[in-house]
Structure 1
Amino acid sequence: MKLTVNVDLTPEEARRAMGLPDLTPLHDRYVASLLEAMNGQVRPELLETMMKNWAPMGDAGLAMWRQMFDQATGGGKTGN
C-alpha cells in the first residue's frame, strides 16, 4: 500500500508546525545593523572580510571571490 499526503503550508505555518523558533526579529535587527554599518558604502575591504568569513576553502576560496569581484567591477586585468 502506498499513501501520499500533500500538505499546503506557508513557510510560517511550516515553521510553527515543526516547532522552530521565529528568527524574524533577529534577522531584521541584523540587516538593520549591517545597513547602518555600511552607511550606503560598499568598501572592498569590507567585502574581502565578509568573503573571507564565508569562503569554504580559505585563501583559495578568497582568491576565487576576489577574481570574480574584480571581473564584475572591471578592477582586474583580463587576458584580452
Structure 2
Amino acid sequence: MKVNVQIDCTPEEARSFFGLPDLKPMQDRILAEIEQRMKSSLNAMDPSEIFKTWLPASMQGVEQMQQVQQMFWQNLAAMAGSQKK
C-alpha cells in the first residue's frame, strides 16, 4: 500500500504546528548588528589606510630578504675561497 500526503502551508504555519519558536526577530537583530559592524569597518578599507598598514611590514620583509641574500653570497664566496686552497 502506498500513501501520499501533501500539506500546503506556509513556513510560519508549519513552525507553529510543530511548536518551533519564531527566530525572525533574533535574526533581524543579528543582521542589523552585522550590517552596523560592516559599515563601521569600511573606513579600514580606505586604500591609503591599507597602504599605511602594509608598508612597514613589506619594507621590513624586503630588508630581511636582502640580509638573507647577502648571507647567501657571503657563504658562497667563502666556500669558493676554501676550495681554492
When the two structures are superposed, what TM-score results if normalisation uses the length of structure 1? 0.47
When the two structures are superposed, what TM-score results if normalisation uses the length of structure 2? 0.45
Larger relative contact order (Cα-Cα within 8 Å, sequence gap ≥ 6): 1
- Decide which structure has the larger Cα Rg and report it: 2
